[in-house]
A and B are shown apart, each in its own frame.
Chain A
Amino acid sequence: MPLRMNKSYHDDNKFGRFLLISLLIHGLLWIALAANWFGTARRVKPPVYYVDLVHKPVLKPQAGRPDSRPVKQSKPAPPKPKPIPEVTPVKTVTPVEPKPQPTVTPPAQQQPKPAPEVRPNQKLQSALDEIRERQARQAERDALKAKLAALQQSATIPDDVPVGMPDGSGTEVGVSALAFVQAYIQQNWALSPYLLANPSRMGSIEAKVLLVYAADGRLERFRILEASGDSQFDDSIKKAITKSQQLPQPLPQRVELSVLFNLKEMAQARR
């Protein structure tokens, strides 16, 4: 009995050892593959092909991407031409030609022509002409509007439009969601160089902040990973984040951003 027990124990121990070794090998392999040995971060420099210096970040940054296919819309009915109001024919009274009276005038001296006498029927005629002219102009305008609407409907984004090219309908700044977030935070960041405690440190001052945005554009949480040591600089960043608590439009997915704030451009410009 003790022998059997010993054997069983022995077998069980052997199996367990094998299981342990197998698990350890698999585990180590998994760790080796899953772990990011060179840091988890991947610095993404959002590509910007065309910089729109006039427009601020757009509301629909994904617009204009060839991969975001425009939803087919049913063709709207062509605009109805406005009914031209019927013009009731007005009886025109043919003016009675005055009989020319032979007058003898000296050829050298011309008398100034007397102002033509406006008669009631002439007034009516001119009003009618004016109405006709207005109607013609309106019809011309309507035709142009219809043409423009038809053109807009027919304009589709071709498949081979590269991201961010002006052929797309989105503003180039907003093509990348990351570029949009970056531009939005930057736009909300206000800092005067005269506020810095030590302006000579401008080139080296920096702070790192972790921002987590939900897919609906809401700031879930933020954490200052590395403070700069300059209270004014850090305070300005906190204000920028407070102002960027809600992005004006949703993101494709939840994002975790490690944002490095510094004044390199400002320092370069001041050199």
Chain B
Amino acid sequence: MRFWIVSLALFLTLLPGPVLAVTEIEISAPGEQSIPLALTRLIAHEGPQADQFAAEFNEVLNADLDLAGLFHFVDPAAFLSDAQRLGLFSNQVDFSQWRLLGAETLIKGTYTLEGEELKVEARLFDVINRRLLTGRRYVGKVKDVRRMAHAFADQILKELTGEEGPFSARIAYISNQTDNKELWLMDVDGKRPIRLTDHRSIVLNPDFSPRGKEIVFTSYRAGNPDLYRKEIYTGSEAKVSYQQGLNIAGRFAPGEREIALTLSKDGNPEIYLISTSGRISKRITDNWGIDSDPSWSPDGDRIAFISNRQGNPHVFIADVFSRETTRLTRRGNYNATPAWSPKGDRIAFTRQQAGRFDIFTIAADGSDERRLTFGSGNKEHPRWSPDGRFLVYSSDAGGNRAIYVMRADGTGARRLTTLESDCRHPAWSPRW
């Protein structure tokens, strides 16, 4: 009998239990496509009050994070008492106040001013999980407050996305502010412009070395468009390539040992590789058509360039080792200035349509072509930020040609330079 009792018990245990109906639902988009961020103003920790520095830090950080497109800002007018509280540790922050305002992330900070020395401590908090995400202490002169804010914006992007932002970098560009086209350098937000050359001629096409210490550019200083190389910190300058004819559109190879450029020493513009001392090391193209505007792939194995060898100017890709070329773009009658993204997946270029240049991107295999810019004015000379998140370009949409920046998907465009002078040929430096 025991056998049957055991069998019955076993049988009952194996029976399926009461079936709970699990209902499936699908949520196919987030309610908000940006993270609510509360950005508070720095508070004086010790020493005298210096609201102008706090305001400047706040303004720069706000602009950088706004460009990043990750956040939307909680209205500072709604901030409660915690915004005025000094505590920078998780247990000193009243997260419930910020949660009440709908914030998911919070930036708080303090500053200490001692004479000319400025110390800034900034923190990024996760409001939902009530924890510190990242924090940095910056020490410098009062004039460095903008750099500190850019650096913290980079740090925030690194914390949230795993990749550092490009806001501490600089942008080189050509401006005729002194009535001559000279090489200038400015912050990523267009502030603190400084002139680098005084050639009193025409300077064109700057490009940063991969470490960001040097710039190559073309100048008509000696009458011929020659390629120059300039050290940014020392200011020392040298002529690198001065072949007869064009020596233009120099681009440093990722390894920094070679420069790709267009030379027309034999009559027809072709793509060459030269060493950093100017010695020709390789001829990449050999065709009756005009080949120009080289741009390296991030691995240094391929070069995108413009050629009219099949009729209209189109983007082609050349293998550096085998010198085999393949055509990338098939649409449009006039494509120009390709720029390979630092991630290697896409190539930006300009195309003339209906008498106007606009910026496009295309996958490196020739698929998925997308138009990024619309509206009036020409948009030209696109160049990528070192993280591939943004594109900087020049446009005459506002009358005079100015430098603009936008996200890599074409959104968030904003002007960086004033319309008082003509600015073009921007190049985003590596991380500074």
Report A's interface with B, CB cutoff 8 A.
16, 19-20, 23-24, 27, 30-31, 34-36, 40-44, 46, 178, 181-182, 185-195, 197, 200, 210, 232, 236, 239-240, 242-243, 255-266, 270
Contacts and interface: CB of A to CB of B under 8 A. Distances in A.
B16 A181 contact: no
A264 B29 CA distance: 7
B8 interface: yes
20 contacts: A23-B7, A24-B11, A27-B15, A30-B15, A43-B24, A182-B27, A186-B29, A190-B32, A191-B35, A192-B69, A192-B70, A192-B71, A193-B33, A195-B161, A197-B161, A257-B23, A260-B24, A262-B27, A265-B28, A270-B409
Nearest to B104: A190
A181 to B, nearest CB: 7
B406 to A, nearest CB: 13
Given A20-B4, A23-B8, A270-B409, A190 B23 contact: no
Interface residues of B, number: 39
Contacts of B302: none
Contacts of A191: 30, 32-33, 35
A161 to B, nearest CB: 26
B94 to A, nearest CB: 17
Contacts of B212: none
A241 to B, nearest CB: 10
B24 A258 contact: yes
Mostly, the A contact residues are helix
Contacts of B20: 256
B311 interface: no
B389 interface: yes
Interface of B: 3-4, 7-8, 11, 15-16, 19-36, 68-71, 104, 128-129, 160-162, 345, 389, 407, 409
A177 to B, nearest CB: 10
Contact of B22 (A190, A240, A256): A256
A31 B28 CA distance: 36
Contacts of B69: 192, 194
B22 A41 contact: yes
A44 B69 CA distance: 35
Given A16-B4, A35-B16, A43-B24, A190 B70 contact: no
Contacts of A266: 29-30, 33
Contacts of B15: 27, 30-31
3 closest cross-chain pairs (CB), A and B? A265-B29, A190-B32, A191-B30
Contact of A260 (B25, B71, B409): B25
A238 to B, nearest CB: 8
Nearest to B3: A16
Give the most central of B4, B24, B35, B160: most A CB within 10 Å: B24
Given A20-B4, A270-B409, A192 B33 contact: yes
B348 to A, nearest CB: 16
